[in-house]
Structure 1
Amino acid sequence: MTEASATASTLRALEADIAARREELVELDDQLTLQRVGVYYYRHPLDNSPLYKEALTELREHIKDSIKQNDAVVASDSFVFNNSLALGRKMVADYAKLMLRAFNAEADASVRSLRAGGLETGEARLQRSADAIARLGRLMEIRISESYFNLRKTELELTADYLMKVQEEREQEREERARLREERLAERELAAEREKLNKERDHNDNVYKQLIAQGRTEEAERIRQQIASIDAAIAQNDYRAANIRAGFVYVISNIGAFGANVVKIGMTRRLEPMDRVRELGDASVPFPFDVHIMYFSNDAITLETQLHQAFAERKLNNVNLRREFFFATPAEVKKELQRNVGTLLEYVDTPTAEQFLQSQGAWPDDSRARFVV
């Protein structure tokens, strides 16, 4: 067998061994991995995704330098082949290159296949690859150097951090766009209401002047009272337009979408808060939301924050903390809200859930059995 064919045969055996052991030993179920990880922990905390890209670019230059300087692989320098130290060193160098190529291929594949939150899987693949190379290269003392392994491991960590940061930034952008859209809707509604009130006041003012001129004082007094009521509405409207913290805190549920004892606690500045609730119950969920509490506050932002903090340990989403769903009953939220604001004039304890309850009768039997409320 020629030296080239022997080398090629060894490379094939190495790659086959790594592939076989990858399937045998590496956890490939990303869902299970994500559940074990829980809340994501940044190994290399940076402020934004562009900084992660810069860090990855710099790290990859270090990886290239390590290869150029022959620091990536450790191997014997006293291996003898056919009673020749020179031939032995050449064979070791050739095998070391092949094994480094196999390791780099596995490292690159781990980086390419990495998903946000799936770092554990990538690290396991990398470790199994290094272990396989150390075992196959034991005769020539060939193994991936610790420093080079750590560089490739850091590349995985930075990539995982980058993917998670990109995911967070996209979510923040979506939420910011939604917040701005909500603010613009509220501003337009308040401006339209102000215009309507102005017209109504002007009309009543003209009527009032005509009645006074005609000496119809009793009718004029009723119009004057209407004008006073309109003035109060204008003052309230102007206050809400000027004070961005004023709005409605709401507590809603959707047992057909999220099950029992799950509520959403949010706030809106909309003139008609039910418009916001109807939007939340659009085509993205199967059933409309039920409203348990709708409370106007001059500082709805602070009140909403207090409620979120009170139920922080019961959040459904412990990764994206800006989500507003909690494992809680409406009664529990009512009790907490009363601690902050006192008596509530309106409160609904039991959700109507009309569409959900009416729909269950048409479901297949096995579907009803799986859906526990």
Structure 2
Amino acid sequence: MDEQIELQSFGLYTPKYDFASSELYKNRLSQIRDTQKALIKNGQAVTGNTNWTVNGSKSQGKKMVKDMQKLLLRAFNSECDELIDKVKYNTFDTALKRMRSSCEAISKLGNIMGIAITTQYFNAKHEELCLSLEYKKKKQDEKEEQKEIRARMREEAKLQKEIEETRKKIAKEQTHYQNALSHLEQQIKTAADVDKEELLKKKEQIINELSEIDKSMKDIDYRAANARAGYVYII
């Protein structure tokens, strides 16, 4: 906790939430804004002296206090909206200080009528500031992640194309040696004993070549099945 406080004293924001997606941040932002609307509607966003009178009229005094509450709350909301819209990790500390200063300034302006932003409403705005910052960060992270996925997909597609081209080349070579072996076996059947030894040597060479080709084909199959293994193949 001391370490986090020390970091915050240098203006380094420590995330307060850990939502898995930007959509969850967006939903939470919607909820906190609904909470703010409810606080305004229920008269819990800003205080005010309801016993204020104007020319001896309580109704006029009440209206005057209500109008001043609206004016000062609108000014506070306008300041907060600007801060929330522009907040970044390196400006969070400054934004929060400005939000507090705005709240204190409004309390001073409305002091005579007992007008002040409630702690409950300020906390809701503070939470919105934090959520907005983390929402922007999560959106950026997701954007970068999608960019990486697209790049990886392009690399995988390129690798698969290279693998298929190599597979065709090996298959063609395999067919060539299989045909040669079949032709050689026919020659061996009809060859004289004096020629058979040389033909059998050629047959052994072809069988060895086919064995190497079979290994290469299995290697290609393995590469195709493990295209995401993190290797760079130079074919």
Q: Structures share a fold, TM > 0.5?
A: yes
When residues 117 and 163 of structure 1 are mapped into structure 2, their CA distance, relative to the original with a 3 A threshold, is: farther
| CA distance in 1 between partners of 2:161 and 2:89 (Å) | 39
Distance 1:109 1:145 in 2: 20
- For each residue in 1:40-94, what CA deviation from the matched residue of structure 2 results, as whole angstroms up to 9, or x when unmatched? 62x2332322222222223222212221222111233455666x47365554333
Deviation at 1:144?
0.7
Q: Distance in 1 between matches of 2:153 and 2:127?
A: 38
| 3-state secondary structure, aligned to 1:139 | coil
Distance 2:146 2:181 in 1: 52
Equivalent position to 1:192, from 165, 173, 178: 165
Does 2:231 match 1:272? no
The equivalent of 1:103 in structure 2 is 76
Q: How large is the RMSD of aligned CA atoms in angstroms? A: 2.9
Deviation at 1:105, TM superposition (A): 0.9
Query: Are the structure 2 counterparts of residues 156 and 80 from structure 1 closer, same or farther at C-alpha, using a change threshold of 3 Å?
Result: same
Instruction: Quote the Cα distance in structure 2 between the aligned partners of 1:57 and 1:125.
Output: 23
Verify: 1:67 aligned to 2:40, yes or no: yes
8 A contact 1:189–1:271 mirrored in 2:
no
Larger radius of gyration: 2
Q: Secondary structure at the match of 1:60?
A: helix
Which stretch shows the higher mean deviation, 237-246 or 119-128? 237-246
Within-5 A mapping of 1:177-326: 177-212=150-185, 213=187, 215=196, 216-244=199-227, 246=229, 267-268=230-231, 270-272=232-234
Amino acid at match of 1:150: N
Are 1:115 and 1:160, in contact at CA under 8 Å, matched by a contact in 2? yes
Corresponding position of 1:171: 144
Q: CA deviation at 1:199?
A: 0.7
Alpha carbons of structure 1 residues 90 and 238: separation in structure 2 relative to 1, 3 Å: closer
1:210 Cα deviation after fit? 3.5
Alpha-carbon distance change, 186 to 160 in structure 1, aligned in 2, over 3 angstroms: same
Superimposed CA distance per residue, residues 213-235 of structure 1 (whole angstroms, 9 cap, x where no aligned partner): 26433334333322222122112
Shift of 1:245: 6.1
Name structure 2 gaps, 5 residues minimum.
1-7, 189-195
Q: Structure 1 245/46 Cα, relative in aligned 2: closer, same or farther at 3 Å?
A: closer
- 1:206 is displaced (CA, Å) by 2.2
Partner of 1:152: 125
Match of 1:37 among 3, 7, 12: 12
The amino acid that maps onto 1:242 is A
The one of 84, 95, 98 aligned to 1:125: 98
1:55 counterpart = 2:28: yes
Say whether the 8 Å CA contact 1:117–1:164 is kept in structure 2. Answer: no
Q: Which has the higher strand share?
A: 1
AA paired with 2:159?
A: A
Q: 1: CA distance between counterparts of 2:221 and 2:63?
A: 85
Contact 2:46–2:115 at 8 Å: present in 1 too? yes
TM-score (norm 1): 0.51
In 2, the alpha carbon distance for the partners of 1:172 and 1:117 equals 22
**Structure 1 residue runs without a partner (length 5+):** 1-32, 247-266, 274-373
Matches within 5 A, 1:15-26: none
Which whole-Å CA distance do the structure 2 matches of 1:175 and 1:75 have between them? 54
Distance 2:105 2:31 in 1: 28
Task: Specify the alignment match of 2:108 in structure 1.
Answer: 135
Q: Which structure carries more relative contact order (alpha carbon 8 Å, separation 6+)?
A: 2
Higher deviation after alignment, 136-145 or 169-178: 136-145
Structure with the bigger percentage of helix: 2
SS at 2:163's partner residue? Answer: helix
- Separation in 2 of the partners of 1:130 and 1:241? 62
